[in-house]
Amino acid sequence: MFYKSTGYRVFSAFNTAILLLLSIACVLPMIHILAVAFSGKAAANANLVNFWPVDFTTEAFRKTFDNRNFVRSLGISVYRTVLGTAIFLGLLLITSYPLSKEPHAFKGRTLYIWYFVITMLFSGGLVPSYILIVKLGLNNTIWALVLPGAVDVFSLILMLNFFRNIPKELEEASLIDGASHFVTLLRVYLPLSLPAIATLSLFTMVGHWNSWFDGMIYNTNGKNFPLATLLQTIIVQQDFSKITMNPKDLADISNRTVKAAQIFIGALPILLVYPFLQKYFVKGVILGAVKE
C-alpha cells in the first residue's frame, strides 16, 4: 500500500477544498439564474430570489419558446455549430494527416507548416475581413459564420502532433495491404485519434455556440442572428425589440425572468454535451502536444 505522508494528506485536503470552492463558484450562478427563471414576476423584480424559486412558475420558459425570434436564433445556432464543426473536422483531418509525415515522405512539408503558422502571427484585420465577406456575397448567410474560421491552426498543430505519435508500423502495414492513404486515414488514424478529435470538436462547438460578434457584423438582418448574438442584443445592449411581448404577457412575467430563462437555455446544450467529452480533454491535448 502506498504510504501517504502528513504533507501529502494536507496537500490533498487543501487541493480538494480549493477545487470544491471553485466548483461551487461555477455552479451557483447557474443555479441562481435557473431559480430566477422559475420565479414569479414580483419576486424577480424585487430581487428576492437567491438559489430557490419564489412563486414557482414556468411562464418564462413557455413565453420564450413561444417567441419566434428566439426559436429561430436557437435553430441557427444549432445549425451553425453542427455545420461548422463538421467542416472543421473534415479540413482538419485531411490537412493534418499529410503534414504529420516526415520531410522525406512529403516534400515541402516544412514550407506548408510555416504557411499555416504565419497566419497565427499576422492577420488582415477586421475591416479587410469584413470587406472580403461582403465582396464574396457571404454576408447574411450561414457561410459567413462557419468559413472564416474553418481551419484553426492551433488545432491543426495539435492534431498533426497527435498523428505523429501513432506508430508508423500501423500505416506501413495498411499500405502494404493495398490501402490508400485516404483509407489509412479513415481506418487506422481516425479510430486511434478519437481523444484528440473529441477534444478539438468540443473546443470548436463551444466557440461556434458562444460566438456573437461575427453574427452581429456579418448580418444586417436580425432574423439571421445566432442565439449568442440575439442574447447579446437583449442582455448587454438592452434591446428588447427582439422579445417584444404584448401587455397580457408582461402581466405574468418580467423581462428579468425571460432573460434568465433565455440565458439558461443558451447554456444548456453545451452543458449537456460537455460531460460526454470531458474525459478526453487531458489525454487529447497532452498527447497532441508532447512531440515537436
d(CA 201, CA 159): 11
d(CA 261, CA 266): 9
Nearest to 93 by CA among 207, 193, 175, 199: 193
- Span 177-217, pLDDT tens digits: 888 888 888 888 888 888 888 888 888 888 898 888 888 88
Q: Is 121 helix (H, G, I), strand (E, B) or coil?
A: helix
Query: In angstroms, what is the C-alpha Rg of the chain?
Result: 24
d(CA 188, CA 170): 7
- Span 75-108, pLDDT tens digits: 899 999 999 999 999 999 999 888 888 887 788 8
Contact residues for 93 (Cβ-Cβ < 8 A; gap 6+): 159, 185, 189, 190
Contact residues for 150 (Cβ-Cβ < 8 A; gap 6+): 84, 87, 88, 91
Nearest to 106 by CA among 181, 52, 35: 181
d(CA 24, CA 209): 24
Place of cell 468559413: 147
Predicted local confidence at residue 243, as pLDDT: 53
Q: Is 289 helix (H, G, I), strand (E, B) or coil?
A: coil
How do the domains of the chain map onto residue ranges? 60-287
- CATH T-level topology, domain 60-287: MetI-like fold (1.10.3720)
With a pLDDT cut of 90, the percent of the chain lying above it is: 8
Predicted local confidence at residue 289, as pLDDT: 46
Q: For the chain, what is the mean pLDDT?
A: 81
List of the chain residues with pLDDT < 50: 244, 288-292
Task: Name the helix (H) or strand (E) containing 81.
Answer: helix 68-99
Which amino acid makes up residue 107?
Answer: K
